[in-house]
Amino acid sequence: MSLLHWAVLSPFLLAIIVPFLYKLFRQIHTGWFVLILPVLLFTYFSRFISLTKQGEVITERATWIPSLGIHVDFYLDGLGLLFALLITGIGSLVILYSIFYLSKVKEKLNQFYVFLLLFMGAMLGVVLSDNLIVLYSFWEFTSLSSFLLIGYWNERERSRYGAQKSLLITVFGGLSLLGGIILLSIMGNTFSIRELISQSGELMDHPLFTPALLLVLLGAFTKSAQFPFHIWLPDAMEAPTPVSAYLHSATMVKAGIYLVARLSPVFAESGVWFWCVSIAGLITLFWGSFSAVKQTDLKGILAFSTISQLGLIMSLLGLGAAALHYDTLGENIYLAATVAAVFHLINHATFKGSLFMVAGIIDHETGTRDIRKLGGLMQLMPITFTVAVIGAFSMAGLPPFNGFLSKEMFLASMVNVLELDIFNMETWGVLFPVLAWVASVFTFIYSMIVVLKPFTGKLQLHLLEKKPHEAPIGMLISPIILATLVIVFGIFPNLLSSSIIKPAVASIQPNLVDSNFQVHIAFWHGFSPELWMTIGIIVIGIILYKTFPKWKRIYQWLPERFSLNALYDNGLNALERSASSVMKFLMTGSIRTYLLSIFLFFILSLGFALYWKDAFKLDTGNFAPIGLYEMVLAAIIVIGSISILFAKSRLTSIILLGAVGYTVSLFFVLFRAPDLALTQLVIETISVALFLLCFFHLPLLASRKEERMTFRLNNALISIGVGTIVTLIALSAHSNKLFDSISSYYLENAYKEAGGKNVVNVILVDFRGLDTMFEISVLSIAALGIFAMIKLRLTGRKDKS
Amino acid sequence: MKQNDLILQTVTKVAAFVILLFAVAIFLGGHYSPGGGFVGGLMTSAAIVLLLLAYDIKTVTKILPIDYKLMIGSGLFISSLTVAGGLVFGVPLMTHVYRYIDLPILGHISLHTAVLFDLGVYLVVVGVTMTIIQTIGESE
């Protein structure tokens, strides 16, 4: 356990204490206690910048399951550090913002911050783990905490729906990621990412390579909301706005991007990777920006915009893979795509984070996020407006903000695609810049909608729930910091280039980046194609924005029922319906039917196995002599069992059953097994008493006229069948001795190893103690289940939804 | 019909304590003679069931105001702590430690960590049996 391990563990540890802090200091907003941790972590991680800048990496190991080769290896390089800084930095700002956003009186703050801390720890684990199994565990943890956070207002139906949707989709992807990880470990015989990277050349030719690649990508795409799995992200906007800003824009959805970037050195040489990543990214980019324009909910626009921007980063990572095929080029133009991806990742976190916070402020101060109701807030909320302008213009790709720079680099990379001559790019390559350009036009339009609709136009006070005014200063600090970063990174992009971007690019493309490689980001490249493209975007964008009501109808071309959401809803409904019909068919509620099918299966499967394997064998040589006692006891059992059938009342049959049970325990006495005899005796006593008690307290049952058991051939056949099979198996088991009995081992070692003379008990508590442990757990679950079923049925639950 | 439980109740008053004592005895003696947590727990439940039969649930809950669900929980807790205890000392899970010591009056006896584990089993068994019986008995 190193300091790095403690750093990742610390959010989890704090999460344990948070509920107590909440209980003890009710008058202080819990967020203040929580805020300390990400700030500390941010300072801790920023100390590593100087190390990774020189290309050094930090590795720390703690053993977890050494027998399976699973260690908690943390590996801090440029890429991991970039994400760690984003997680802790944005995390600090979001927590500060949430302190003013969430009321300490009304909200369940203890839960909120526990979930948020779980997420933070899990996310740090994802980006720092070198071991894929550890990474996967943290990965699922982020899905889980995201689920909890989306469903934070769990009394709302939409929240629950969104939470379930995100969980189903991301966990589905997580499972496929696990499959990919297992395939990778089979190929490379290791779970370590670094070791996999070092043997990436051999992995390429392995037959499992492509399946592994696709499975891993499926995991990354679901997490990063790539088309067609993006549908969960807009519904995740039901979460409180700080959560949306943090998880669903700056960090968690970028986990998929992280994974693609991290595993690029393993997979990127393959054409499948290039095509999948860049095409999925481009389609998502286009579809996200296209759908964003039609949204009326401010957070809805931002959600689709996030989808689209994630697609942009993804497509750049895909294009960056092309660089591997041109490693002889001195000035590798495709490497620029990777640089742009990393740069845009940072920029997106800053401008999107600030925009989300603006949306939260508007929601908080006016009571609505519907852009049809909002308008004219510019005079009332000047500071918020300024932040919104900076964020939205950066998102639209306007100078002098950082979004302009990364957008230019993005367009340049797309134009460079035209020169590619691998993977059949000559024919389809032209689609890349075209799609990118069209998507950018829509990006421009929705960016304008985000900033212009709420802030300009006419103020319609009667539509708003509250009288709007400027937000409290505490809520403004975080978006102002982010907006400042937008400008600073825009004007001085090279602040980041050698300290953060270059080391991160070096982790994604380790073979291409050497010490001579320099990232230089400049404002002015002359009148290059990308500049003309940007000018075109602005001109066309303004025209389309002005004429939006005229072409709005194209969104109705695709009817609702063909949308992906409808597919998801119908699929889920069909699944639930078919599951419930299977349940109805199998679970009739009649114990007799259950027993019939269980016994029938028992007879058929065991009888068939006996016949097929020719397993029946009778070896009389080993039989003990049958004495008078045994004869008498057996006779009692037979008489008792048969007379149960003819008993007139249930009470009689229960007492008879008890008698049979006691006689069986006498057999144990005869064979000198006092423990068994004792147990059997007590169990018989208790179960008979239980039955009697039931009858005593269930007067209805007792007074009802009891049906006489009638003879049924089926039942008779089945019961005789069960008896025969058991007898045959018992006889064969006695006659077939394939192994030495283990009992001699127990007899010898009970005293030597466990210091006990009662072998039965020694087995129970020592030799097979783990069995006992689980048995008592099962018993407990059964008891609680019975309690719950009976008690909860009595109180009667009503669904309020 | 008014039932006359006088004989049963009188016998129960004595018998229940004898059974309880016997249960404790076989629980503690489990490692060397027939018995142990499982049987001991069942025996204890049998004593309580006898009380339930002779009297009724209300009277018995008044005499023994025990939440059996909590008993299950504490039993599981004790057992799992014993199981996990080995980790603290850097030995595998469930490692069984015992010592022989001489005490005044009691003489030469042995102390086992298994007894702690068995105590958990004992509590769970009593808790489970009594939860089930009580729940079914109480329901209308």
A787 touches chain B (CB under 8 A): yes
What's residue B82's pLDDT? 86
Kind plus residue range of the DSSP H or E element containing A132: helix A132-150
Q: Do residue A572 and residue A684 come from a single domain?
A: no
What's residue A137's pLDDT? 92
Q: Where are the domains of chain B?
A: 6-138
Q: Which residue has the higher pLDDT, B38 or B86?
A: B38
ipTM metric: 0.89
Q: Which residues have C-beta within 8 Å of that of residue A276, sequence separation ≥ 6? A: A213, A214, A217, A318
Q: Do residue A619 and residue A599 come from a single domain?
A: yes
**Chain B hits for A692, Cβ within 8 Å:** 53
Percent of chain B with pLDDT over 90: 23
A761 touches chain B (CB under 8 A): yes
Please answer whether residues A302 and A446 qualify as being in contact, where contact means their C-beta atoms are separated by less than 8 angstroms.
no
When mean pLDDT is compared across A96-105, A164-173, A531-540, A645-654, the lowest value belongs to A645-654
When mean pLDDT is compared across A306-310, A588-592, B35-39, the lowest value belongs to A588-592
Q: Do residue A574 and residue A600 come from a single domain?
A: no
What's residue A467's pLDDT? 77
What's residue A799's pLDDT? 46
What's residue A561's pLDDT? 65
Residue A441 pLDDT more than 60?
yes
A701 touches chain B (CB under 8 A): no
What's residue B1's pLDDT? 45
Residue A708 pLDDT more than 70?
no
A801 pLDDT band, cuts 50/70/90, is: very low
What's residue A608's pLDDT? 92
Q: Do residue A624 and residue A707 come from a single domain?
A: yes
Residue A676's identity, in one-letter code, is L
- Nearest by CB to residue B127, choosing from A678, A765, A783, is A783
What's residue A83's pLDDT? 92
Q: Do residue A693 and residue A612 come from a single domain?
A: yes
- What is chain A's mean pLDDT, rounded? 84
Residue A472 maps to a domain: no
Long-range contacts of B95-103 (CB under 8 A, 24+ apart): B96/A754, B96/A765, B96/A766, B96/A769, B98/A754, B98/A755, B100/A755
Instruction: Round to whole Å and give the CA distance between B125 and A779.
Output: 8
Percent of chain A with pLDDT over 90: 21
What's residue A502's pLDDT? 84
The half-sphere exposure of A471 on its side-chain side, counting CA atoms within 13 A, is 29
Residue A17 maps to a domain: no
Q: Do residue A760 and residue A713 come from a single domain?
A: no
pLDDT digits (tens, 9 = 90+) for A182-230: 999 988 888 888 888 888 878 888 888 889 999 999 999 999 888 888 8
Section A533-541 average pLDDT: 85
**DSSP category for residue A322:** G
What distances in angstroms separate CA A94 from CA A301, A318, A350, A530, A662, one per listed residue?
A: 20, 31, 12, 34, 69
Section A551-565 average pLDDT: 73
Section A652-672 average pLDDT: 88
- Nearest by CB to residue B49, choosing from A686, A760, A766, is A686
Residue to mutate among B50, B83, B124, with most A CBs inside 10 A, is B124
Q: Which residue of B has its CA nearest to A752?
A: B98
What's residue A426's pLDDT? 65
Q: Which residue of B has its CA nearest to A753?
A: B96
Residue A634 maps to a domain: yes
Q: What's phi and psi for A648, nearest 5 deg? A: -85, -30
Q: What pTM did the predictor assign?
A: 0.77
CB contact (8 A) between residue B30 and residue A758:
yes
Task: State the DSSP string of A393-456.
Answer: HHHHT-TTSHHHHHHHHHHHHHHHGGG--STTHHHHTTHHHHHHHHHHHHHHHHHHHHHHHHHS
CB contact (8 A) between residue A786 and residue B94:
no
Q: Do residue A634 and residue A691 come from a single domain?
A: yes
A703 pLDDT band, cuts 50/70/90, is: very low
Residue to mutate among B72, B93, B126, with most A CBs inside 10 A, is B72
What's residue B128's pLDDT? 92
Residue A472 pLDDT more than 90?
no
Structural domain of A765: 741-801
Please answer whether residues B80 and B98 qualify as being in contact, where contact means their C-beta atoms are separated by less than 8 angstroms.
no
**Chain B hits for A687, Cβ within 8 Å:** none
What's residue B29's pLDDT? 81
What's residue A181's pLDDT? 93
B116 touches chain A (CB under 8 A): no
pLDDT digits (tens, 9 = 90+) for A506-521: 888 877 766 666 777 7
Section A340-365 average pLDDT: 89
pLDDT digits (tens, 9 = 90+) for A401-423: 888 888 888 888 888 877 776 66
The domain total for chain A is 3
Residue A136 pLDDT more than 90?
yes
Residue A692 maps to a domain: yes
Section A491-496 average pLDDT: 82
Residue A288 maps to a domain: no
Percent of chain A with pLDDT over 70: 93
